[in-house]
Structure 1
Amino acid sequence: MHRGLKTLLAGAGVVLAAGCAAPSEPQVTFYSHGRSVEVAPAQYCNPNGEKCTGSPDAVGKLRVPDGSPLQISVPGKVSETPWQVVFLYRGANGQELDGRSPVFTPNERHAYTLELPPDGVHLEHVEVQQFSAVLTPGADGGVDFGIGGSWVLNVEQQ
């Protein structure tokens, strides 16, 4: 029994060592007015939309003054696939509005500067979305690409 325990522990050590050598999940950096935050993925899947990891609690927080741009930097693992930025903001009348960047093609860019549309006053929520190769029927006919990666930022109030 003692020998079996040694074998089990030795095997566990190999598994732990292999787990430590695994590549880390890509981080997205959000920057505004001299402060930045690196955010882990809320969801991160392989290109086929499988083997997903991440944490729904992985939400960054950053203060972005009203009317100020937000700079977003993505690593190569994100920029080598199609990706976009979606966001929620408040208009001058307090109404909640949403917007999105264009979809960036693979290797087109590693960064994006988000500036609110002319009707926007206060940025509230930002999400970087990485598309996967998974296709689903679209509500309006065509097809929709699945989201394989997601990085979330909540904007703190001033």
Structure 2
Amino acid sequence: MRRVPLLPVLLLAATACAAPTPPEVTFYADGEAVAVAPLDDCDIDAENCRRDPAAEGRLRVRPGLPVQISVPGEVADTAWGVNFRYRDAAGVEQEPGRSAVFTVSAPKHAYTLTLPNPGDRLIGVEVQQLSRRIQTSTTGAFDFVARRVWVLTVEG
């Protein structure tokens, strides 16, 4: 009879039962990068959610510079998009902007966020992985509900 050491078997069993780590999104700007876990992490129906209040990235981005966003395959192979807030050169906050929605039919692993004018200053960015749940907005439009949201706050 062959004996198997108990400790490696217990460690293997413990790691097999551990919940998978949620995917991280990387934001890169002005020579710095930050990898961020999702603030909100829900199942495909946008239910059974977990919130991690500490999951927020911070980067310094000078006016007019782009922010490059990189997502893992687990996100790129689904529907996702980018929402952002910014101020113009005079410091007036503008209407929030959004990218196109990227889908499984044309997976995209990276997106470069460039603001409309060179003097514009970015305030914050959200990457949203969409669920299969749809809701009606106050304007009567239909929107997909985000299942995961990654947040970047822009400093100075």
- TM-score w.r.t. length of structure 2: 0.83
Distance of 1:130 and 1:149 partners within structure 2: 5
Gaps of 5+ in 2: 1-9
* Match runs of 1:78-157 below 5 Å: 78-97=75-94, 98-106=96-104, 107-118=106-117, 121-157=120-156
- Relative to structure 1, the CA distance from residue 92 to residue 34 in structure 2 (aligned partners, 3 Å threshold; closer, same or farther) is closer
Matched residue count: 144
Q: Deviations over 1:110-150 (max 9, x none)?
A: 10000001275111101101110111123333422111010
Given candidates 67, 71, 75, the residue that maps to 1:70 is 67
| One-letter amino acid matched to 1:79 | A
Alpha-carbon distance, 1:53 to partner: 2.0
Distance of 2:119 and 2:148 partners within structure 1: 27
Other structure's SS at 2:50 match: coil
Distance of 1:48 and 1:24 partners within structure 2: 19
Larger helix fraction of residues: 1
Distance of 1:41 and 1:120 partners within structure 2: 30
In the other structure, the counterpart of 2:53 is 56
Q: Percent sequence identity over matched residues?
A: 49
Alpha-carbon distance, 1:93 to partner: 2.0
Distance of 1:34 and 1:45 partners within structure 2: 32
- TM-score w.r.t. length of structure 1: 0.82
Does 1:41 pair with 2:38?
A: yes
Gaps of 5+ in 1: 1-12
Contact 1:40 1:54 in 2 (8 A): no
RMSD: 2.1
Distance of 2:119 and 2:23 partners within structure 1: 30
- Relative to structure 1, the CA distance from residue 20 to residue 37 in structure 2 (aligned partners, 3 Å threshold; closer, same or farther) is farther
Q: After TM superposition, which residue ranges in structure 1, 4 or more long, deviate above 3 angstroms?
A: 18-21
Q: Deviations over 1:82-129 (max 9, x none)?
A: 111111111022111121111111252010000001275111101101
